[in-house]
Structure 1
Amino acid sequence: MPDSVLLLPPAHPLRGRVAPPGSKSITNRALPLAALAKGTSRLTGALKSDDTRHMATALRAMGVRIEEPDETSFTVTGTGRLQAPDSPLFLGNAGTATRFLTALCALVEGTVTVSGDEHMQKRPIRPLVDALTRLGVSVDAPTGCPPVTIHGRGSFTGTRVVIDAGLSSQYVSALLMLAPAGANPIEVALEGDDIGARGYIDLTCAAMRAFGAAIRQEGAARWIVQPSGYRAADFAIEPDASAATYLWAAEVLTGGAIDIGTAPERFTQPDAKAYDIIRQFPQMPPVIDGSQMQDAVPTLAALAAFNETPVRFVGIANLRVKECDRIAAMATELSRLSPGLAREEGDDLLVSPVSLDRMGSAAIETYADHRIAMSMALTGLRVPGVRILDPGCVAKTYPDYWRDLSRLGVEMGRSEV
């Protein structure tokens, strides 16, 4: 991959059909659930990217047979148990895989260390570690971030756990996915009602049920999970809604017509809610609550730079603990196009659009964050001279992003320095 990509604003609306990759969120739920099931599961429509490869590689290291018959399928054969790996599990900057496997390694008989790259080692995991400890799992995370060491005993003793999910709904999902492997029914409850991206817990529950789990939600903050274990299943994975937001935004920015092969209302992922806001461009609402569509916020922020009126993004404090501090990153990088185009106000992000003639060329830092790269690339559809540094970071979730833009008619210059 080149060191940078220079986007040339298209002289015509973008038209054509490109299919976004499979959902990262669903693929990284289906893989470990199939691994914990007895028998062979077939996952179709799956995402093959850095994040899902980290998950698959870790599961293979724990004795799960995973085959890849084609570019969008996994065949997973599990025994219902996980084995202790020979070495630490390195998961790069894959937050979903790190949190889910930290919980599921409680089922290993032996010691497992879950680690990641320098970025992952700054992402908090203490609330999950504390919750696992209350379930009777022996876990060490001296810094409150990875690496995490789990001293597995093949099972756990707790029957009720309360979790602070204010930083991430993935903590709840990790506990829910672990629960069916217990010896007794388990109650998972929230500490307060504050939770990021609640819709992702619904994705977790739906995937668990597809693999035979018995889970019941009681009210807004409590789930009861039976010790059902998991059974093998054939499971179809829908396209990635977060990836779809870039294509929806590219369509409205250029006045084009892009067919992604899936109607917006057919998505079950939370980020699909962004479609209704994108369709309002260039009259997006003055305040957008991003709490339940967090990964779509960078897309919407890039789009807001060309809105008719300012847009304030609220409910997005959790974006500070993603692959990078996305609030600071978007404020900084949008302002490279025009000073003050975006700024932080507490944990809000305020985007104050200016006329196109007041925007200029810029080299965009991506902070090794795929979403910063893909969302800021959208600005290059309008502003000449936008160069995206480290474009290869999109491989985390959308390896063919640049190819798909090219297929739609976007011309790009590439360079290595």
Structure 2
Amino acid sequence: MAHAAAVTITPPGRPLVGRVTPPGSKSITNRALLLAGLARGESVIGGALASDDTGHMAQALRRMGVPVRQEEADDATTFTVSGNGRLAPPDGPLFLGNAGTAMRFLTAVAALVEGTVVLDGDAHMRKRPIGPLTAALGALGVEAHDTAGRPPVTVHGRGGFPADTVTIDAGLSSQYVSALLMATACGDRPVTVALSGAEIGARGYVDLTLAAMRAFGAEVVQEDAGRWRVAPTGYRACTYRVEPDASAATYLWAAERLTGGAIDLGVAPADMTQPDAAAHALIARFPNLPETIDGSQMQDAVPTLAALAAFNETPVRFVGIANLRVKECDRVHAMATELGRVRPGLAREEGDDLVVAGGPDLAASAGPARIETWADHRIAMSMALVGLRVPGVTILDPACTAKTYPRYWRDLARLGVALRPE
């Protein structure tokens, strides 16, 4: 489907049965790539994800003088990263597409470069907020300028951080915290990173960051729920294994429930450390999802759960999802709009909540629908699930799934889903 303008899904009409191995975690892969790039020595990152997002991170590291080699074998990706403990100024702006992790993480790490780094992205990235992070860098004594609170960003690196304390507003994204934590370990003094309030989007991703940092030799002490002390250890090379992507797994768990199938992912949800793994317990309750679902700590799973809710026995309200408005697209609005194409009134926005008024009879009352994907991989993959029951669902721009799950359409086809490209 790499070059198809659209793909139409035929409901399989039978349980989907088989084995599919989800790709490696995007979140963990980009953390590991960055830390390996900052480390001294050769790191080997196995089970990694090769996608648009991780490709942008790898290429940015190469542009800053870090050799990164990628090898493919049996659908598994291994990155070998040869770091020397420092990054060189790139010869021009770093283009990061719409990769949020790459943009936020590299903005903070650019402070370690002795020179100027410009970070830019595509039109969608230029709408995504980064102001709290550039403000935090300023508080650490690093000159950083954004564009009305959004990329492009220019960082005048000084090789470290002149100050030893920073307070960050992480209400919009936990990635700001992760970025500062990873970067400050390479300074010349201990740095305290603190939250300006108790609110933080998807706190579990900070735990992923801390685990990756410690694997690469960092020393971080969590002083309380919103305060961390980072020692100036730098990083050391290691062999690192990336776990399967829990966000990608949600589509397969949902496909299994929607069709009454049995899909073996080769990994138990309990063995995943990513926040979206918590969605499995909710998906297992389908078609009796709870009346209200708080998506604040499993944000990337919300589109999947919303697609399931379209067939639930009762309506579902999703709360705690205001941050979804500043993802690759406004996912609250996008899901309400696209579910509405399947059947008018199927979903609506109420403030920052998403309400899906589904029902088990949706397939009988819904008509064919051409689904806009908003250049957002999660809209494409989630709305494809609706096509497992509703005839005539066509996903436009199916190639956008390459951002995090390049094999998505192939994996559906291997499970027996008929796909007709246009």
Give the alignment's TM-score, normalised by structure 2: 0.98
How far is 1:182 from its partner?
1.1
User: Counterparts of 1:405 and 1:220 in 2: how far apart (Å)?
Assistant: 41
**Equivalent residue, structure 1, for 2:153:** 148
User: Counterparts of 2:250 and 2:338 in 1: how far apart (Å)?
Assistant: 19
User: Counterparts of 1:381 and 1:206 in 2: how far apart (Å)?
Assistant: 37
Does the alignment pair 1:376 with 2:383? yes
Does the alignment pair 1:49 with 2:51? yes
**Equivalent residue, structure 1, for 2:352:** 347
1:317-396 alignment, distance < 5 Å: 317-354=322-359, 355-356=361-362, 357-396=364-403
Pick one of 212, 219, 225 that aligns with 1:214: 219
User: Counterparts of 1:280 and 1:395 in 2: how far apart (Å)?
Assistant: 29
User: Counterparts of 1:137 and 1:38 in 2: how far apart (Å)?
Assistant: 24
User: Counterparts of 1:69 and 1:242 in 2: how far apart (Å)?
Assistant: 23
How far is 1:142 from its partner?
2.8
Q: Which runs of 5+ in 1 are unaligned?
A: none
List per-residue Cα deviations over 1:106-145 (Å, max 9, x = no partner): 1111111000000000000000000000001110113210
Pick one of 399, 410, 417 that aligns with 2:406: 399
**Equivalent residue, structure 2, for 1:282:** 287
Pick one of 291, 300, 305 that aligns with 2:296: 291
List per-residue Cα deviations over 1:354-388 (Å, max 9, x = no partner): 42211111000000000000000000000000000
**Equivalent residue, structure 2, for 1:24:** 26
- RMSD of aligned Cα (Å): 0.6
Pick one of 194, 197, 208 that aligns with 2:199: 194
List per-residue Cα deviations over 1:122-173 (Å, max 9, x = no partner): 0000000000000011101132100000011111211000000000000000
1:175-194 alignment, distance < 5 Å: 175-194=180-199
**Equivalent residue, structure 2, for 1:128:** 133
User: Counterparts of 1:379 and 1:11 in 2: how far apart (Å)?
Assistant: 13
User: Counterparts of 1:360 and 1:149 in 2: how far apart (Å)?
Assistant: 48
1:12-91 alignment, distance < 5 Å: 12-70=14-72, 71-91=76-96
1:155-166 alignment, distance < 5 Å: 155-166=160-171
Secondary structure in 2 matching 1:146? strand
**Equivalent residue, structure 2, for 1:11:** 13
How far is 1:24 from its partner?
0.0
Secondary structure in 1 matching 2:161? coil
User: Counterparts of 1:122 and 1:365 in 2: how far apart (Å)?
Assistant: 19
Does the alignment pair 1:257 with 2:262? yes
**Equivalent residue, structure 2, for 1:271:** 276
1:80-119 alignment, distance < 5 Å: 80-119=85-124
After the TM superposition, which of the residue ranges 141-150 and 203-212 deviates more from structure 2? Answer: 141-150
How far is 1:69 from its partner?
2.8
User: Counterparts of 2:52 and 2:206 in 1: how far apart (Å)?
Assistant: 23
User: Counterparts of 1:62 and 1:230 in 2: how far apart (Å)?
Assistant: 17
1:295-310 alignment, distance < 5 Å: 295-310=300-315
Q: Flag as ranges the 4+ runs of structure 1 deviating above 2 A.
A: none
**Equivalent residue, structure 1, for 2:4:** 2
1:167-178 alignment, distance < 5 Å: 167-178=172-183
List per-residue Cα deviations over 1:213-253 (Å, max 9, x = no partner): 00011221000110111000100000000000000000000
Secondary structure in 2 matching 1:45? strand
Residue type of the alignment partner of 1:61? R
**Equivalent residue, structure 2, for 1:409:** 416
List per-residue Cα deviations over 1:246-298 (Å, max 9, x = no partner): 00000000000000110110000000000000000000000000000000000
Does the alignment pair 1:238 with 2:243? yes
Residue type of the alignment partner of 1:362? A
Equivalent residues of 2:132, 2:168 under 8 A apart: yes
User: Counterparts of 1:110 and 1:227 in 2: how far apart (Å)?
Assistant: 21
User: Counterparts of 1:250 and 1:50 in 2: how far apart (Å)?
Assistant: 24
% identical equivalent positions = 68
List per-residue Cα deviations over 1:321-352 (Å, max 9, x = no partner): 00000000000000111111000000000000
Does the alignment pair 1:139 with 2:144? yes
Residue type of the alignment partner of 1:42? V
User: Counterparts of 2:244 and 2:24 in 1: how far apart (Å)?
Assistant: 4
Residue type of the alignment partner of 2:395? I
Residue type of the alignment partner of 2:409? W
How far is 1:183 from its partner?
1.0
Does the alignment pair 1:311 with 2:325? no
